Structure 1
Amino acid sequence: MSHKIIVVGIGPGDSAYLLPKAQKTIENARILVGGKRALADFSHSGARECAIGADIPGVLSFIRDALATDDVVVMVSGDPGYYSLLDALRRSFPIGQIEVIPGISSLQMAFARLALPWHAARLLSFHGREPHEAELLRTEGAVLGMLTDGRNNSQTIAARLMAHGWSSDDTMYVCTRLSYADEQITEMTIGQAADTDGIGHGVIIVCAHEEKY
Structure 2
Amino acid sequence: MDKQNKIIVVGIGPGNPDYIVPKGLKTIQGAKYLVGGKRALADFAQAGQDTCAITADIPGVMAFIRDRLPKADVVAMVSGDPGYYSLLDALRREFAPEQIEVIPGISSMQYAFAKIALPWHDATLASFHGRVPQPEAIEYKPGKILGMLTDSQHNSHTIPQILLEHGWPADARLYICSRLSYPDEAIYTCTMQDAAAKPLVTHGIIIAHE
Which TM-score bucket, shorter chain as reference?
A: over 0.9
1:183 corresponds in structure 2 to 185
1:145 to 144, 147, 159: 147
3-state SS, counterpart of residue 155 of structure 1? coil
Q: Which runs of 5+ in 2 are unaligned?
A: none
Measured after TM superposition, the shift of residue 101 of structure 1 is 0.1
Kindly indicate whether the alpha-carbon contact (under 8 Å) linking 1:9 and 1:22 is maintained by their aligned counterparts in 2: yes
1:167 to 166, 169, 179: 169
Deviations 1:45-104 (A, max 9, x none): 011110001111111111111112111000000000000000010111010000000000
1:55 corresponds in structure 2 to 57
1:16 corresponds in structure 2 to 18
Percent identity among equivalent residues? Answer: 59
Measured after TM superposition, the shift of residue 197 of structure 1 is 5.6
- How far apart, in 2, do the equivalents of 1:15 and 1:80 lie? 16
Kindly indicate whether the alpha-carbon contact (under 8 Å) linking 1:171 and 1:206 is maintained by their aligned counterparts in 2: yes
1:83 to 71, 85, 92: 85
Deviations 1:19-68 (A, max 9, x none): 00000000000110011111111111011110001111111111111112
Q: Which runs of 5+ in 1 are unaligned?
A: none
3-state SS, counterpart of residue 133 of structure 2? coil
Kindly indicate whether the alpha-carbon contact (under 8 Å) linking 2:188 and 2:198 is maintained by their aligned counterparts in 1: no
How many residue pairs align between the two structures?
208
Measured after TM superposition, the shift of residue 177 of structure 1 is 0.9
Question: CA 1:196–1:183 in 2, change beyond 3 Å: closer, same or farther?
Answer: closer
- How far apart, in 2, do the equivalents of 1:38 and 1:204 lie? 24
3-state SS, counterpart of residue 157 of structure 2? helix
- How far apart, in 1, do the equivalents of 2:172 and 2:200 lie? 17
> What residue identity is the alignment partner of 1:184?
A
Measured after TM superposition, the shift of residue 198 of structure 1 is 3.1
2:130 to 115, 128, 131: 128
2:72 corresponds in structure 1 to 70
> What residue identity is the alignment partner of 1:51?
A
Give the alignment's Cα RMSD to 1 decimal.
1.1
> What residue identity is the alignment partner of 1:29?
A
2:31 to 29, 35, 45: 29
1:200 aligns with 2:178: no
**What's the TM-score once normalised by structure 2's chain length?**
0.96
**What's the TM-score once normalised by structure 1's chain length?**
0.95
1:106 corresponds in structure 2 to 108
The farther-off stretch of 81-90 and 143-152 is 143-152
2:118 corresponds in structure 1 to 116
Measured after TM superposition, the shift of residue 195 of structure 1 is 5.4
> What residue identity is the alignment partner of 1:69?
K
- How far apart, in 1, do the equivalents of 2:200 and 2:161 lie? 11
- How far apart, in 2, do the equivalents of 1:67 and 1:131 lie? 36
